[in-house]
Amino acid sequence: MNSQSTLPGVFDLAVVGAGIIGMACARAAALKGLRVIVIDRDLESSGASVRNFGFVAVTGQERGTAWSRARRTCAIWEELAQQAEFPILQRGLWMTARRPEAVPVLEAFLETEMGEDCKILSRAAARACCAQVVNEQVQAVLSSSIDLRVESREAIPKIAAWLAARLGVVFLRQTAVLTAAPPRIETSRGLVEAGAVVVCPGDDMVSLYPERIAKYRVSRCKLQMLRLADPGFRLPGIVMSDLGLIRYPGYSALAEAAPLRARLEAEQGEHVKHGIHLIVVQSADGSLVVGDSHHHAATPDFSADERIDQLILGEFAAATGRSPPAVRERWLGTYASADRSMFIDMPAPDVRLVMITSGSGASTGFAIGEEVVTDLFGGSA
C-alpha cells in the first residue's frame, strides 16, 4: 500500500462499492454534473447485485416509502435500459394463489393504493393467458403490469460502462477503501481526493464504520439460487406463489395474511423454517432463475444444501403443476440483513453510509441513490 501518493483527479463525490446502490448514487450525482469516482475492491461486480433475480419488484414492497421508491426505481430502470442498451426481459408479476386463504390476501391487496397496477384473474382467465403455469389447484392470480425483470449480471456492467462513457464517472477497480474522511479517501492504491463520500458496502460490515453499522444490529442472509433449463414456453410474468404472500411485507402486513400464514406453517413448515418462497423469472435464452431460501448468520456457512434446493423445486412443482426442468446452475448469494429494510447513516456531514438490509436493493436502489445525493448536495431528486 502506498497511502502517501495521491491519485490523479479531484472529485465532488467518491462512491465506495460498485453494486447497484453505488451505481445508483453515482448516476444521481453525475446527472447533477458532479465529478464522481466509484471505487470497488473487485475487478467486476460479484456481490448481491449480480447474484439476484433481477426482479424489480414494486408489487409486494412494504407499504409507504419502500413502495414509492420501488415505483421510482422501476421508472429509472426503464430509462437506463434504453440508455445503456440492455433488455427488460419480463414485465409484470403473476402471483398465483392456490390455497383458499390466499385469495382474501390478494383481494385485500387490490383494495389498497398498492393495487393500482394490478388485477385479479380467475383460474379460467389465467389459464387462457398461460395454461402451462396454472394448474387445477390455482384459485386466482394477482397480475401486475408494473414489475420488471432484468438480467443483473449483464445489466450492471452495462450501467457501469454507460456511466463511464456518457457521464464521465471514473471507476477505480481492485482497490479497497481503507478510510473515508473527505477530502482524503485512503485506498489500497493511494489517496483519492473527494469532497464527499457515499459508502455502499453491501454486506461488508467491518471495513468502514463498523461501529456505526453495529448499532443497526446487522447480520447476513444466505440465499440458494438455481437456474433451470428452458421449459419450452414463455412465462406470462414473474411467477410467485402462496409462500411469497407471507414474506413480502406489502402482503404479509395485511390482516388477511394471518390465516394463510397459519395454514402454511402447518402444511409447509420446512419451507417456512428455511425462509423459502418461490420466485421464477425467465432469461433471454428461455432458462428459468428459481429461488430462494433465507438463512441468517454473522458468517453464513458456504454450503449449498441439496435438501433446500429440493424444497424450492418442490414448491415450483406444486405452484405450476409441472416437474421442474433440469438444473443447469446453482449459486449462493448473501445480503446484509436487519430488522429494517435499509438505512442511511451519517457518520460525518459529508459522508453517508447506505446499507440495504433486505432483499430489495434492485427494486428500490435508484430512488435511494437520488435521495442520498439530494441530501448531500441539495437540489431536487
Ligand X SMILES: Cc1cc2nc3c(=O)[nH]c(=O)nc-3n(C[C@H](O)[C@H](O)[C@H](O)COP(=O)(O)OP(=O)(O)OC[C@H]3O[C@@H](n4cnc5c(N)ncnc54)[C@H](O)[C@@H]3O)c2cc1C
Residue 107, C-beta contacts closer than 8 angstroms, at least 6 positions apart: 120, 256
Q: Does 163 bind ligand X (CB under 6 A)?
A: no
Q: How far is CA 60 from CA 190, 230, 273, 353, in A?
A: 44, 27, 21, 26
Q: Does 53 bind ligand X (CB under 6 A)?
A: yes
Of 13-21, 114-122, 252-260, 345-353, the segment contacting ligand X by CB under 6 A is: 13-21
Closest approach of ligand X to the CB of residue 122, in Å: 28
Q: How far is CA 223 from CA 6, 306, 358, in A?
A: 40, 13, 12
Closest approach of ligand X to the CB of residue 124, in Å: 30
Which x/- pattern, by CB under 6 A, does the window 257-286 give for ligand X? ------------------------------
Of 92-100, 202-210, 262-270, 369-377, the segment contacting ligand X by CB under 6 A is: 202-210
Closest approach of ligand X to the CB of residue 144, in Å: 15
Query: All 3 cell numbers of residue 63?
Result: 407499504
Q: Does 17 bind ligand X (CB under 6 A)?
A: yes
Of 45-53, 114-122, 212-220, 250-258, the segment contacting ligand X by CB under 6 A is: 45-53
Closest approach of ligand X to the CB of residue 331, in Å: 8
The only residue of 37, 39, 150, 170 in contact with ligand X, by rule CB under 6 A: 39
The only residue of 356, 368, 372, 376 in contact with ligand X, by rule CB under 6 A: 356
Q: Does 40 bind ligand X (CB under 6 A)?
A: yes
- Please say which residue, 36 or 57, places its beta carbon nearer to ligand X: 57
Residue 224, C-beta contacts closer than 8 angstroms, at least 6 positions apart: 291, 292, 293, 304, 305, 308, 309, 312, 330, 332
Closest approach of ligand X to the CB of residue 33, in Å: 23
Of 1-9, 38-46, 139-147, 303-311, the segment contacting ligand X by CB under 6 A is: 38-46
- What whole-number distance in Å separates Cα of residue 220 and Cα of residue 357? 8
- What whole-number distance in Å separates Cα of residue 379 and Cα of residue 23? 20
Q: How far is CA 199 from CA 84, 184, 212, in A?
A: 24, 14, 12
Residue 211, C-beta contacts closer than 8 angstroms, at least 6 positions apart: none
- Please say which residue, 139 or 364, places its beta carbon nearer to ligand X: 364
- Please say which residue, 53 or 109, places its beta carbon nearer to ligand X: 53
Q: Does 350 bind ligand X (CB under 6 A)?
A: no
Q: Does 16 bind ligand X (CB under 6 A)?
A: yes
Q: Does 118 bind ligand X (CB under 6 A)?
A: no
Q: Which residues bind ligand X (CB under 6 A)?
A: 16-22, 39-42, 45, 47-49, 51-55, 57, 176-177, 200-202, 204, 207-208, 223, 225, 292, 333-335, 356, 359-363
